[in-house]
């Protein structure tokens, strides 16, 4: 019999993510009323904001009708409209909880949230029983579906009505035993821009994860109008966009401007649409160039955007777009050092070749080592930190490019006095092409991300990097400032 006047309450189970929900049902002499699904209240109480796209109803006219045990590639919220059922759920996901069984009775005052990969089954205990499913994906013949036999001996589900007397479909009777079921792997993470310096670092950060895919521009063209169909996006949990157009000076040319907007804005808009429609986490990497560098203190995440050039404008626009979807992380960073051409390798090459460089001394900020940024991204995603915008660079005191260059010379055993500091205007005075305005203050405040990520000191990481480069004999590789 339906219990009235319960408080809305979630009860966790031994299957991770599977929760039973007590629902307030209000009854009188006319019948009863309940809020079957109330997004604001239920997400506040802990239900994932799983974004239902379809509502299904199952009607069962006789006692003992039994359905399952099915695990589909979507999350579902199941609630009884009339009658009473015995529910049994089996975790078919890869991991230590594989094969775990949870059972419970449901009536109109009790519902269940079933995460994807958990087998779902019901047996009716009253005639004319109906229950509803809210699901967050549509059926697709290309998706992977799993099931386990209702009578599996190792599961030992205590069906109230023995299965030999129950009403089952022929298909459900033929499902495999648990020993024959292949565990369902975790939803995948897709990393875009896998060939860049951050992409390479993300390969290392996720090296132990079998559910991570990497794609470069030849695998997925972010500017293609067909990007929405290049993957079955419902199979993914997160997309990390490490791809960007970063040629800040070329972006000031007509051709560069088009490419910058196509990659940093148009493509990001499409990724945001895909993420929003499929409930994905979207991670997008941003830049200190969204600010004009005029503040006397490090920039916080909520400071007003004021980009000086085209590149900064496109990154700021991308930030605004990504911020509109529910599940997002925007990582603002600066002065990235990773594999390939970079400032440190340029200084090492100049030092070895006996060239005395002029380096700007009026731009101040902190280095960001790509390996540390990659780990920060993984930490945010793995630990489900609150969604939003985070600054990340390495720690320590902000310095100028010239001070960094002198430190590189010193660490490599060269005379730091060979580095001459010049203003940004002096440095670019002989440039033949367009030059983008640079923010003079690129320092970012790191307080928000500190609880969720280790922030190694920038100068200590620089020393490790230089010593590794010199030891490997790779310092002859050039780069650009």
Q: Summarize pLDDT for 102-134 with one digit per residue, the tens.
A: 999 999 999 999 999 999 999 999 999 999 999
Return the pLDDT at 430. 87
Comparing 130 with 471, the larger pLDDT belongs to 130
Q: What share of the chain has pLDDT > 90, as a percent?
A: 83
Phi, psi of 118 (to 5 degrees): -100, 125
Query: What pLDDT score was predicted for residue 477?
Result: 44
- Rounded distance, CA 462 to CA 410, Å? 11
Q: Which residues contact 187 (CB under 8 A, 6 or more apart)?
A: 116, 211, 235, 236, 237
Sign of CA pseudo-dihedral 87, 88, 94, 96 = positive
Tell which wins on pLDDT, 142 or 167: 167
**pLDDT at 216 (0 to 100):** 86
Q: Is the pLDDT of residue 479 over 50?
A: no
Q: What tokens appear for 17 in the block?
A: 């993510």
Question: How many whole angstroms separate alpha carbon 139 and alpha carbon 129?
Answer: 24
Stated length of the chain? 481
> What string of DSSP letters covers 131-180?
EEEEESS---TTS--EE--TT-TTT----SS-GGGSB--HHHHTPPPGGG
Residue 481 pLDDT class (50, 70, 90 cuts)? very low
Q: What is the pLDDT of residue 478?
A: 43
The CA distances from residue 251 to 260, 265, 436, 441, in Å, are 6, 13, 8, 21
Q: Where does the pLDDT of residue 480 fall: very low under 50, low under 70, confident under 90, or very high at 90 and above? A: very low
**Residue 131 contacts residue 68 (beta carbons within 8 Å):** no
> Of 317, 197, 310, 220, whose CA–CA distance to 269 is shortest?
317
Cβ(204)–Cβ(374) under 8 Å? yes
Question: In 383-457, where does DSSP find H-type helix?
Answer: 401-411, 424-427
20 is written with which tokens? 């039973």
What confidence tens digit (pLDDT) does each residue in 267-308 have? Answer: 999 999 999 988 899 999 999 999 999 999 999 999 999 999
- In the predicted model, what is the mean pLDDT of residues 340-345? 93
Binned at pLDDT 50, 70 and 90, residue 1 comes out as: low
Higher pLDDT, 51 or 296: 296
Q: Residue 104: which of 112, 95, 113 has the closest Cα?
A: 112
C-alpha triplet 51, 387, 442: angle, nearest 5°:
145
Question: Given pLDDT bands bounded at 50, 70 and 90, which one contains residue 88?
Answer: very high
In the predicted model, what is the mean pLDDT of residues 187-200? 94
411 φ/ψ angles, rounded to the nearest 5 degrees: -65, -30
List, as own/partner pairs, every contact residues 24-27 make where C-beta atoms lie below 8 angstroms and the sequence separation is at least 24, other chains included. 24/109, 25/108, 25/109, 27/2
pLDDT of residue 474: 58
Q: What is the pLDDT of residue 143?
A: 78
pLDDT at 432: 87
Instruction: Name the residues annotated as catalytic.
Output: 70, 133
Q: Which domains does the chain have, with CATH numbers?
A: 9-180 (2.60.120.10), 188-472 (3.40.50.720)
What CA–CA distance (Å, rounded) separates 309 from 292? 9
What is the per-residue pLDDT for 472? 65
Q: How much is the average pLDDT of 66-88?
A: 95
Give 360-405 pLDDT, tens digit per residue: 999 999 999 999 999 999 999 999 999 999 999 999 999 999 999 9
Look at residue 473 in the predicted model and tell me its pLDDT: 63
pLDDT-based confidence at 221, cuts 50/70/90? confident
CA distance 410 to 427: 22
Q: Is 218 exposed, middle or buried (0-12, 13-18, 19+ CB in 10 A)?
A: exposed
Average pLDDT, the chain: 93
pTM of the prediction? 0.85
More confident residue, 319 or 433: 319
- Identify the band that residue 266 occupies on the pLDDT scale cut at 50, 70 and 90: very high
């Amino acid at each position: 019999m339906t219990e009235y006047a319960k408080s809305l309450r979630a009860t966790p189970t031994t299957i991770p993510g599977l929760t039973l929900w007590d629902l307030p049902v209000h009854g009188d002499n006319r019948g009863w009323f309940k809020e079957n699904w109330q997004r604001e209240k239920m997400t506040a109480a802990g239900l994932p904001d799983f974004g239902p796209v379809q509502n299904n109803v199952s009607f069962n006219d006789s006692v003992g009708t039994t359905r399952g045990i099915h695990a589909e590639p979507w999350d579902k919220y199941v609630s009884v409209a009339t009658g009473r059922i015995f529910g049994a759920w089996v975790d078919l996901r890869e991991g230590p909880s594989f094969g775990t069984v949870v059972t419970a009775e449901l009536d109109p005052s009790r519902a269940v949230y079933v995460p994807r990969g958990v087998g779902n089954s019901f047996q009716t205990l009253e005639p004319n029983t109906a229950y509803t499913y809210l699901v967050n994906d549509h059926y697709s013949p290309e998706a992977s579906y799993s099931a386990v036999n209702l009578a599996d001996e190792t599961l030992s589900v205590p069906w109230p009505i023995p299965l030999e007397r129950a009403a089952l479909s022929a298909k459900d009777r033929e499902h495999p035993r648990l020993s024959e079921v292949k565990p369902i792997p975790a939803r995948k993470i897709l990393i875009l821009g896998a060939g860049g310096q951050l992409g390479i670092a993300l390969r290392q950060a996720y090296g132990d994860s079998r559910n991570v895919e990497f794609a470069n521009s030849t695998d997925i063209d972010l500017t293609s109008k067909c990007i929405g169909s290049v993957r079955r996006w419902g199979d993914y949990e997160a997309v990390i966009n490490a791809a960007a157009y970063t040629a800040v000076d070329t972006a000031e040319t007509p051709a560069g401007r088009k490419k910058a907007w196509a990659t940093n804005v148009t493509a990001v808009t499409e990724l945001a649409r895909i993420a929003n429609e499929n409930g994905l986490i979207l991670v997008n990497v941003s830049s200190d160039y969204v600010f004009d560098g005029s503040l006397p203190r490090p920039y916080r995440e909520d400071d007003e955007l004021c980009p000086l050039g085209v590149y900064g404008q496109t990154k700021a626009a991308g930030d605004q777009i990504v911020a509109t979807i529910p599940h997002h992380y925007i990582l603002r960073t600066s002065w990235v050092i990773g594999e390939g051409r970079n400032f440190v390798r340029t200084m090492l090459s100049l030092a070895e070749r006996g060239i005395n460089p002029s380096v700007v001394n009026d731009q101040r900020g902190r280095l960001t080592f790509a390996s540390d940024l990659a780990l920060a991204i993984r930490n945010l995603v793995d630990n489900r930190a609150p969604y939003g915008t985070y600054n990340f660079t390495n720690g320590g005191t902000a310095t100028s490019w010239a001070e960094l260059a002198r430190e590189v010379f010193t660490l490599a055993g060269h005379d730091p006095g060979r580095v001459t500091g010049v203003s940004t205007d002096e440095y670019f005075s002989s440039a033949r092409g367009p030059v983008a305005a640079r923010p003079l203050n690129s320092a970012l405040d790191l307080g928000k991300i500190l609880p969720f990520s280790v922030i190694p000191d920038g100068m200590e990481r620089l020393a490790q990097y230089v010593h590794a480069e010199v030891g490997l004999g790779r310092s002859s590789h050039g780069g650009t400032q």
